[in-house]
Amino acid sequence: MVEKLEVFWTLAVVALLAGVAGYSTILLYHLDALPSDPTEYVEVIGHQWYWEFCYPANNTCFNTSYDAANGSLSGGYFWAPPGAVVQINVTSADVVHSFNIPALGVRIDAIPGRMNHFAFSVPNGTPGTLYLIQCTEFCGEFHGTMRSYLKLT
């Protein structure tokens, strides 16, 4: 009787772990999936110490610099319409950076010589709403000022 119980519990645990492993593998695969038709397609390039954004559909690239002394941004915002599905391709021109929009759960490394892909949904907020962008990989002297904003348009 005791042996049968042992076999049952062992098989129950094996079945449970196999289920968790299978589900996690499928979920991980889908997390990396990119949308087939994103609303915006943006290339993000990290530099010491600013972000460059390129919109291939608009044939435009611009740098955004953050002035920590007065908290102002120059060069333009990373923009997207409310509710958009945005695909970003992220790389770096010099050292390793990390592109992070904390409020939207976006975080992806910017690595020289490598293109990382990520897609996220922009909230249905009021046009003009700003979301902080901050480099989250220590990248040198002015890492702390490597900021920008995502602006709803």
Binding site for Cu ion (CB under 5 A): 97, 135, 139, 146
CB of 100 to Cu ion, least distance (A): 10
For residues 77 and 99, which CB has a smaller minimum distance to Cu ion in the complex?
Answer: 99
What is the identity of the amino acid at 32?
D
For residues 90 and 146, which CB has a smaller minimum distance to Cu ion in the complex?
Answer: 146
For residue 9, the surrounding DSSP H or E stretch is: helix 2-31
CB of 139 to Cu ion, least distance (A): 3
CB of 48 to Cu ion, least distance (A): 7
CB of 5 to Cu ion, least distance (A): 57
Taking the chain, what is the end-to-end CA distance rounded to the nearest angstrom? 69
Please say whether the beta carbons of 123 and 81 come within 8 A.
Answer: no
Residue 146 CA to residue 138 CA, distance in Å, equals 10
Neighbours of 23 (CB within 10 A): 10
For residues 133 and 139, which CB has a smaller minimum distance to Cu ion in the complex?
Answer: 139
For residues 108 and 146, which CB has a smaller minimum distance to Cu ion in the complex?
Answer: 146
Residue 64: name the closest of 73, 55, 56 by CA.
Answer: 73
Q: Which tokens sit at 138?
A: 């220590």
